[in-house]
Amino acid sequence: MDIATETETEQIVFVTEDGVPTGETGPKLASHHEHTRLHLAFSCYVLRRADNALLITQRALHKKVWPGVWTNSVCGHPAPGESLEDAVHRRAAYELGLPSLTDLRCVLPKYRYRTPPFHGIVENEFCPVFAARTDVEPDPNPAEVGDWRWVPWADYQELLNDETANVSYWAKDQFSQLKSIEPFSGL
């Protein structure tokens, strides 16, 4: 399946406030708007095994949702019937060119957020947060990633605290919870 067809046909899973699927799905792109329904997603923070540097990415400028913002390593939506872990691996391979992540684990299983409007889009997600490691350099898909870099955790914190930086709402929101749990608390 080519990228355009995949993007046009990708479905998201609608959930209750507790993250339980309702049995309803919707087209990913058409479902993100000013009245976005609560749906299932994930965020993942990839650390380089050698030095614990965090992979951060800038979303491609042409993306419908939060274009051009800097954020954590990879985010996405599980397909109907797909486990969150399988979705993380699928999106890491597709977006980042990282075919294998190690030590994948859910660090914030009940994270949920709703963004203020951004270019007419509201994100409304039940979004478990994962951490993973890799020894591989990314080879990002330009359809998804505009730029990327490895940063020490302290530099990531500085970026999030910079009022002039173009950083995703969820990255800032997740940080307050992530900074005190493993593997981030020791960085």
What is the H or E stretch that residue 134 is in? strand 129-134
**Which two structure tokens, joined as six digits, stand for 22?**
């309702």
Respond yes or no: is residue 75 known to be catalytic.
yes
Domain range annotation of the chain: 3-178
Dihedral, 71, 74, 79, 81 alpha carbons, nearest 10: -120
Confirm or deny that 10 is annotated as ligand binding: no
Q: 125 labelled as ligand-binding? A: yes
Give per-residue pLDDT as tens, 33-83: 888 999 999 999 999 999 999 999 999 999 888 899 999 999 999 999 999
pLDDT value at residue 4: 40
pLDDT digits (tens, 9 = 90+) for 161-186: 999 999 999 999 999 999 999 999 88
pLDDT per position as a tens digit, 115-166:
998 888 889 999 999 999 999 999 999 999 999 999 999 999 999 999 999 9
pLDDT at 5 over 70: no
Q: Identify the active-site residue in 44, 75, 85, 127.
A: 75
Q: Rounded to whole angstroms, what are the CA distances from 48 to 102, 150, 179?
A: 10, 8, 17
pLDDT in tens, 15-28: 999 999 999 999 98
Q: Annotation-wise, does 85 bind a ligand?
A: no
Q: Is 123 annotated as a binding residue?
A: yes
Q: How many residues does the chain have?
A: 187
32: confidence class by pLDDT, cuts 50, 70, 90: confident
pLDDT range class, residue 108, cuts 50, 70, 90: very high
Q: Say which of 44, 125, 127, 144 is annotated catalytic.
A: 125
Class of 3-178 per CATH? alpha beta
Q: Respond yes or no on whether the N-terminal peptide bond of residue 109 is cis (omega within 30° of 0).
A: no
| Nearest-angstrom CA–CA distance, 45 and 75 | 9
Q: Is residue 24 annotated as part of the catalytic site, yes or no? A: no
